Structure 1
Amino acid sequence: MSNLETAPQARVCGGRQDVSGTPVHELLTGKQVPLGESTVVRRLLPNLGRRMIGAWCFVDHYGPDDITDEPGMQVAPHPHTGLQTVSWLHDGQVQHRDSVGSVATVRPRELGLMTAGRAIAHSEQSPRDHGPLLHGAQLWVALPGEHRHTEPHFEHHPVLPEVAAPGLHATVILGELDGALSPGATYSPLVGADLTLAEGASARLPLDPDFEYAVLAMAGAADVDGVRVEPGALLYLGCGRTGLPLRAVTDSSLLLLGGEPFEEKIVMFWNFVARTGEEIAEARDAWNSPSAGSFGEVHGYQGARLLAPPLPPVPLKPRGRAR
């Protein structure tokens, strides 16, 4: 998924100095951002209060939207570097096309995982004959330095491991939870899991005390370690936890995101993750060239690709993981 802001900010993220080594509660709300022709997302990362959770560096939550008479998601070809994109749906379908030749239709609770590495371009569209609803999340994972120039590739995993307990069902999107390991490729210690709780259910999730965690409410309302979390909110939990108490106020769907604090500092601008402003400028110029440079071409998409917006006029200033 693309960041379609016409004047995106450049951000320096990462480093461990602002990561809480003890459990905390930071309730973050999303910023409304238009995406494509008819979709509006709630952008929860980067946020004014928090820029990363482990290697997770970007979180958009959208829907549920009634797209019965709408085109749904229509995001033209755009580039990525230095990251992985994670497509996660609760309702609808999204057709992925990329410049290494991948074509796949991602459906609810299937993992669409694109490793951009050195450079890739892709498009995302609701199929012409789509269902009435679109609801999901798009997430990015920053690649550590030793893997950020890896060859780009796409993975589609229709079947993922599950964990069950009374009143709770968990699908492991990436990483490992309670002994269940996702088949998706990871390059740093992290976890992502989709949690479904029945109304009134209580459960306790096992956690790694070395990870920092956050919980995004996709639907319903739940108490997470005693804090009410509703759709459009992200609760940052810090580190130092061995377990997480959950209680569903209504039938609820949550996303658990976690990972070891990301030690390297990264520069994020538009759809690029790099280490310096100079690398961002090089990637932008390559994509905006007539040939799209090393990003390649997305075949099968009917329409023009998105051009990268102008760089900000001021130099980048490191601001750490939070402010």
Structure 2
Amino acid sequence: MTVRRTLPQRARTLIGAWCFADHYGPDNIAETGGMEVAPHPHTGLQTVSWLFSGEIEHRDSLGSHAYVRPGELNLMTGGHGISHSEVSTPRTTVLHGVQLWVALPEEHRHAERDFQHYVPEPLRIDGAEIRVFLGSLAGRESPVRTFTPLLGAEIVLEPRATVTFAVDPGFEHGLLVDHGDVRLADTLLRPAELGYAPAGTAALTLVNESDDPARTVLLGGTPFEEEIVMWWNFIGRSHEDIVRAREDWANASDRFGAVEGYPGDRLPAPVLPHATIAPRGNPPRRRLTPERHLMTESPAAPTVERNDARHRYEILVDGKRAGLTAYRDRGEQRVFFHTEVDDAFAGQGLAARLVEHALSDVRDLGMRIVPVCPYVAKFLKKHDEFADITDPVTPEVLAWLDTELG
């Protein structure tokens, strides 16, 4: 699948308690094979599944068997431990949506397993259609239970519409654009970009600069002041928390239960890095002047997508592919063998940005790096923060890669 990791980023780990946002598709599953994620564990979080098109079958160790469909929320709580599987159904032709995680606060991070399904009624207002799946907005309130104050809503703006929403000034907000060009305050956001507005804002104005409808997802919450340790599918507060969770999963502990009805083996845990996993937190909050109340990348900022079907990461500038770094997976190793940037985009630092994003994604996936590609190897020599997840290039790896590439 085509997957864009919009949160966490280098400059920001959380927006409220939202700590993870994958924006994927639209993918024709006849070409990509769709989604099939075997039973895997979670701790210390809630998963939030929201689709724009397609259908995903969900099974978990609580005994829940449900479907994720467009406009319907599935929220699963995996505090002390839960496991689940996700598989796109035969009825799906195009898969497109967002997968979100919410970090649980310390006092609730060992909460019991839970599963909630909710179908928000669409709300029509002048210039937009809204579905509030968490929290409240525009007079609509979701009944779904969370452990910190949150907001989650899909907002579809009519062509050239301008809409202002009253929001809780105690919340910080993030706006993810799915399609269309949308202006948030004075910043234009293009598809797959995430804009950020810190707490202290009582109203957000969204302007659709497109001649077609624009779809966005608005996320918000009170600033999450705790640091978290996030690795693979686990969230804890220390490296030791992660080690213990991994051991429990590897040993088939009752902590995560069993997923009934999935016709296959569960997902094995990757090998831990050979270093202590450091806590993540947001940078210190600063007093902001009015003209700096929105923080995002420049309108022409490149975006990086992971294209699983083609085994590569692509960097896009104004929606056009400017470069790629290609890989093949050898067990827990992601073997990078080629990186290129189009001559028209040379000299802009795109290769470094692309590779840094790709290597960070490898870390988030709990995998390891093998730098066959000369550019990736050169990059790693200057960035020792990836040394703990980097494996050497061996004759065995090169022979395997030759066979893999034919």
Bin of the TM-score, shorter chain as denominator length: 0.7 to 0.9
1:71 CA displacement: 3.2
> Would the aligned equivalents of 2:57 and 2:86 in 1 still touch at CA under 8 Å?
yes
Deviation string, structure 1 residues 74-125 (Cα, Å, up to 9, x no partner): 1111000010000000000010000111100111010010011110000000
> Would the aligned equivalents of 2:229 and 2:278 in 1 still touch at CA under 8 Å?
no
1:161 CA displacement: 4.2
Distance between the aligned counterparts of 2:34 and 2:189, measured in 1? 27
1:311 partnered with 2:272: yes
Deviation string, structure 1 residues 25-51 (Cα, Å, up to 9, x no partner): xxxxxxxxxxxxxx1310111111110
Q: 2:126 aligns with which of 163, 166, 172?
A: 166
- Structure number having the greater helix percentage: 2
1:216 partnered with 2:176: yes
1:151 CA displacement: 1.1
1:261 partnered with 2:219: no
Give the aligned residue type for 2:265.
Answer: A
Q: What is aligned with 1:241?
A: 201
Q: 1:149 aligns with which of 110, 123, 134?
A: 110
- Structure number having the greater strand percentage: 1
Q: What is aligned with 1:270?
A: 232
Structure 1, unmatched stretches of 5+, are 1-38
Q: What is aligned with 2:98?
A: 137
1:202 partnered with 2:162: yes
Secondary structure, in 3 states, of the residue corresponding to 1:282? helix
1:227 CA displacement: 1.4
Distance between the aligned counterparts of 1:123 and 1:167, measured in 2? 38
Q: 2:149 aligns with which of 163, 178, 189?
A: 189
Q: What is aligned with 1:44?
A: 6
TM-score of the superposition, structure 1-length normalised? 0.84
Q: What is aligned with 1:54?
A: 16
1:170 CA displacement: 1.1
1:292 CA displacement: 4.1
Q: What is aligned with 2:358?
A: none
Give the aligned residue type for 2:120.
Answer: L
TM-score of the superposition, structure 2-length normalised? 0.67
1:77 partnered with 2:39: yes
> Would the aligned equivalents of 1:80 and 1:119 in 2 still touch at CA under 8 Å?
yes
> Would the aligned equivalents of 1:89 and 1:136 in 2 still touch at CA under 8 Å?
yes
Q: CA RMSD in A?
A: 1.5
Q: Which is greater in Rg? A: 2
Task: Judge which range, 63-72 or 257-266, deviates more.
Answer: 63-72
Secondary structure, in 3 states, of the residue corresponding to 1:214? strand
RCO comparison, higher one (Cα < 8 Å, 6+): 1
1:294 partnered with 2:241: no
Q: What is aligned with 2:58?
A: 96
Give the aligned residue type for 1:301.
Answer: Y
Distance verdict in 2 for CA 1:319–1:156, change over 3 Å: closer
1:149 CA displacement: 1.1
Deviation string, structure 1 residues 42-70 (Cα, Å, up to 9, x no partner): 01111111100000000000011112355
Distance between the aligned counterparts of 2:126 and 2:30, measured in 1? 35
Distance between the aligned counterparts of 1:300 and 1:319, measured in 2? 36
Q: What is aligned with 1:225?
A: 185
Give the aligned residue type for 1:183.
Answer: P
Q: What is aligned with 2:214?
A: 252
> Would the aligned equivalents of 1:161 and 1:181 in 2 still touch at CA under 8 Å?
no
Distance between the aligned counterparts of 1:231 and 1:130, measured in 2? 27
Give the 5 Å matches for 1:4-23: none
Give the aligned residue type for 2:83.
Answer: A
Distance between the aligned counterparts of 2:31 and 2:175, measured in 1? 32
Q: What is aligned with 1:66?
A: 28
Secondary structure, in 3 states, of the residue corresponding to 2:273? coil
Q: What is aligned with 2:282?
A: 321
Give the aligned residue type for 1:264.
Answer: E
> Would the aligned equivalents of 1:79 and 1:272 in 2 still touch at CA under 8 Å?
yes
> Would the aligned equivalents of 2:7 and 2:19 in 1 still touch at CA under 8 Å?
yes
> Would the aligned equivalents of 2:165 and 2:204 in 1 still touch at CA under 8 Å?
yes
Give the 5 Å matches for 1:112-127: 112-127=74-89
1:256 CA displacement: 0.5
The share of aligned pairs that are identical, in percent, is 49
> Would the aligned equivalents of 1:160 and 1:183 in 2 still touch at CA under 8 Å?
no
Q: 2:68 aligns with which of 86, 97, 106?
A: 106
Distance between the aligned counterparts of 2:280 and 2:235, measured in 1? 16
Distance between the aligned counterparts of 2:110 and 2:280, measured in 1? 25
Give the aligned residue type for 1:106.
Answer: V
